[in-house]
Amino acid sequence: MLTAEEQSLIQKVWEKTASHRDEIGGESLYRLFTSYPSTKTYFPHFDLSCGSEQIRSHGKKVVAALSTAVKSLDNLSQALSELSSLHAYNLRVDPVNFKLLSQCIQVVLALHLGKEYTPEVHAAFDKFLSAVAAVLSEKYR
Ligand code: HEM
């Protein structure tokens, strides 16, 4: 799991994204659909063009869930339990897709934070997003 140092790094960096967090979600999703077109199959009911209202509003939801996760780093399983059930039982998202979205979120964070996205921050976020993905996938087993 995340060390105390990694936890505080994630909390500090997430705080810095506060003013542009809503865009981060939508940009990550658009990047996901563009870089990995197979992910679009889960969103047949969405307008997937760049900056569409649906992408923006869904992006806000994803980022809000990540904010919840950042506040619950010691207890991700419980904090994301409902989302885990939703993705496993209702949406049936293949777990491989969580890694793809994590990667897109990392690229977008790097674009927004520039030099502040240091290798240490990158490593901490990679661990954090892997932990979120693990929780969202755990109910598939
Ligand atoms: C819905 C979060 C990964 C597909 C949602 C919702 C949230 C969320 C908060 C809305 C739940 C609600 O309305 O109650 C996340 C997080 C992810 C993640 C935090 C990983 C970091 C994925 C991936 C896919 C996916 C990788 C598929 C490629 C969907 C779909 C919906 C959804 C299809 C329903 C959209 C709709 O019809 O409104 N997700 N998700 N999610 N998610 Fe995810």
Q: Which atom of ligand 1 is nearest to the CA of 66?
A: 19
Q: Is the pLDDT of residue 101 over 90?
A: yes
Q: How many CB atoms lie within 10 A of CB 51?
A: 11
ipTM above 0.90, yes or no: yes
pLDDT of residue 140: 76
Task: Provide the CB-side half-sphere exposure for 98 (13 A, CA).
Answer: 23
pLDDT digits (tens, 9 = 90+) for 14-40: 999 999 888 999 999 999 999 999 999
- Measuring from atom 38 of ligand 1, which residue has the nearest CA? 58
Plot region of 21 (φ>0 → left; ψ -120 to 50 → alpha; else → beta): alpha
Distance 31 CA to ligand 1 centre (A): 15
pLDDT digits (tens, 9 = 90+) for 102-118: 999 999 999 999 999 99
Distance 117 CA to ligand 1 centre (A): 25
Q: Which atom of ligand 1 is nearest to the CA of 80?
A: 19
Distance 103 CA to ligand 1 centre (A): 15
Quote the mean pLDDT of the chain.
95
- Least confident stretch, 4-13, 58-67, 84-93, 132-141: 132-141
pLDDT of residue 22: 86
Reported pTM: 0.96
Q: Is the pLDDT of residue 141 over 80?
A: no
Q: Is 91 in the pocket of ligand 1 (CB under 6 A)?
A: yes
Cα angle: 41, vertex 125, 92; to 5 degrees? 25
- Least confident stretch, 48-52, 78-82, 136-140: 136-140
CATH homologous superfamily of domain 4-140? Globins (1.10.490.10)
The rounded distance, in Å, linking the Cα atoms of 57 and 28 is 12
